[in-house]
Amino acid sequence: MPRYIFITGGVVSSLGKGLGAAALASLLQARGYSVRLRKLDPYLNVDPGTMSPTQHGEVFVTDDGAETDLDLGHYERFTGVHAKRTDNVTTGRIYSDVLAKERRGDYLGATIQVIPHVTDAIKAFVLSNHDDEDFILCEIGGTVGDIESLPFLEAIRQIGNELGRESTCYLHVTLIPYIAAAGELKTKPTQHSVKELQSVGIQPDILLCRTEHPLPAEQRAKIGLFCNIRQSAVVLARDVSNIYEVPLAYHDEGLDSEVVRHFGLADTTPDLSHWKRICHVVANPEGEVNIAIVGKYTSLQDSYKSLGEALVHGGIANGVKVNIDWIDSELFEQEDAAIQSLQHVGGILVPGGFGERGSEGKIRAVRFAREQNIPYFGICFGMQMAVLETARNLADMPDAGSSEFGDTKLSLVGLMTEWTVGNETLQRSADDDLGGTMRLGAYECHLTPGSTASRLYGEQVISERHRHRYEVNIAYRDQLEAAGMVISGLSPDGSLPEIVERADHPFFVAVQFHPELKSKPFDPHPLFTGFVAASMEKSRLV
C-alpha cells in the first residue's frame, strides 16, 4: 500500500508548493522509491483548458489528453514520471461527477451534501488509479483558509484518520517574512497558518518554510513549540538561483530525511549525482545565447512555463546559458521599426496561441527570421503562421489565411472535423464546447528520412503531445513545397501535416505539436537542443 504525503500551503499563494512537491518526489526517487504526484485544484472550472493563460498560466497536456495545471509540468520535469488524466482534479470536475451520479439515481434518493458525497468523491480520486507506487504526493491548490479548499482539506483529514499516521504525512508550506525596518524574520504568519490548518482537524507533521534569510535556531525552536512539531521538522526553503537547485537545497536542509523518519524508513543516502551535474552546468556555462519568444501572452511568463524550461534544457545540453527576450507579437503590428529588435538575437521562437490577435505580428517575425537567416522554431500556432508566411510571400497565395480568424478567401489552415486515433474515428464541429474541439494528447508522427527533424530525433516514428483546434490543409502541399517549405512530418494516415522545415535556411523547423511538454533537464528535447545549437552558431557569425 502506498504512503501518502499531502502538501498544503498557507499565508500567501505562489510559495512554490508544486515545485516543493516535485523536488521532494525527486529526492524520494533518489533513495530508490517509486512516486506519483497529484494536484487537487479548488477552482470551479472543470479543467484549466478554457482559462486564460494570463490568469492561470499554461495548460499542461498529458499523453492521455488531459488539460491540467502547470504544476504537473514540474512533476514530470523533476521525476520523469508521465502524468495521467487521473493526476489532476478540480472542484468543478468533482461537483460535475457528483451531480451526474445524482441525476442517474446512483445515490438512491439521498440528500446530496458536501460531507459525505463530495468528500467521498475527492477521497476516491486520491486513493484510486495508481500503480502501487511507494509514495503518492498530493498537492492541494490554493491557500489554507480559502473557502474553496475546505472540502479538500476535510477529505485529506478523513484519509489520515482512516489510513493512520503511519501511512500519511501532512507537509505545510508557509512563509517567514523578513521585516526590513525591524531587521527581523517574523514567525507569527506561520503560527497563524498552522492554527488555521489545525482548526480543520489537520496537524502538520513537517513545515517547509520559505524565507530569504537564515533562520536562527531559537526561532526554529519557537516555531516547533508553537506549531506542535519537533524542531527538526521545521525545514527551511531558502531562495536559490535556479529551480534545479531545489532538490539539493531541500536535501541539505533535511526534508527527505524528515519524511522517511516520519514513516519509520531507513535514512539512506540518496543518489543526487544527476542534479549536481545539472546544477554545475547551469552555474558554469561555456557561453550564452539570446533567443526571442514572440508571443501574445508574454505579460505572464507562466503562460509559457514549459517552453521557457525547455529552452533552459536545450542550453544545458549545449553547455550554455539561454537568455530569453519575451516580446509581445502585437508590437510588430503597431511599429514597423520594432521588428528590427530581432536583428541581434541568435534565434526566434513563435509559440502556440489562440485567436487572431497578434497573428500578423507573428507572421512578420517569421518572415524576418526567414529573410535574415536567423534560426526559427515554430510551435503549434507558430507552425501555422510559418505556413501562412510562406504561402503569402513565396507561393503566390496573398489571400492565405486561417478559418480561426473568421471568413477567409483561402483557408490554408482550418478546423479538422474528423481524424483517427488507433481504431477509433473522432469527430468534432465548430459548435462543440471549446474543450471538445481540441486534438489533445499524444499522437504518432512519421518523419521524412534525411530531414532536419529526422536527424535531430534519430528515429522515423515519434510521439508528441498536441493541443489545438486547427490544422494545416494538406491539399496545398505541392504549392508550399514548390516555395521551399518541406512537410517533413505527417500523421500516420498522411492527412495531417505535423512538421514543416526549409532546406534553404540554417535552421527553420515548425511543428504542430508541443515538444516543450516532454522536455526534462536530464533529458532535453532534441528539437530544443538543435534549435539552441543553431542559435549559438548564428550568434558566433553576428
Q: Which of 24-28, 251-255, 257-261, 439-443 comes out lowest in average pLDDT?
A: 439-443
Give the domain 286-412+472-486+495-541 fold: Rossmann fold (3.40.50)
Helix residue spans in 80-216 (DSSP H): 91-104, 119-127, 150-163, 188-198
Report DSSP state, residue 114.
Answer: I
Q: Which pLDDT band holds residue 49 (cuts at 50, 70, 90)?
A: confident
Full-model pTM: 0.92
Provide the 10 A C-beta neighbour count for residue 6.
Answer: 28
Lowest mean pLDDT among 59-73, 92-106, 316-330, 431-445: 431-445
* Length reported for the chain: 542
Residues of the chain with CATH 3.40.50.880: 286-412+472-486+495-541
Q: Over 80: is that where the pLDDT of 427 sits?
A: no
The pLDDT value recorded for residue 422 is: 56
Residue-wise pLDDT tens digits, 146-195: 999 999 999 999 999 999 999 999 999 999 999 988 888 999 999 999 99
Closest CA to 202 of 454, 10, 357, 12: 10
pLDDT band at 354 (very low <50, low <70, confident <90, very high): confident
Q: Which residues of 346-380 are buried (b: 16+ CB within 10 A; e: fewer)?
A: bbbbbbbbbeeebbbbbbbbbbbbbeeebbbbbbb
pLDDT, position 52 = 78
CB-based burial label for 247 (10 Å; 0-12, 13-18, 19+): buried
List, by residue range, all CATH 3.40.50.300 domains of the chain. 3-278
Judged by DSSP in three states, 77 sits in helix
- What kind of fold does domain 3-278 have according to CATH? Rossmann fold (3.40.50)
Q: Which residues form the catalytic set?
A: 380, 514, 516
Q: What value, to the nearest 5°, has the Cα angle with vertex 299 and ends 296 and 303? A: 70
Residue 390, pLDDT > 90, answer: yes
Are 155 and 119 in contact, with CB atoms under 8 Å apart?
yes
Give the residue from 132, 114, 131 showing the smallest Cα distance to 123. 114
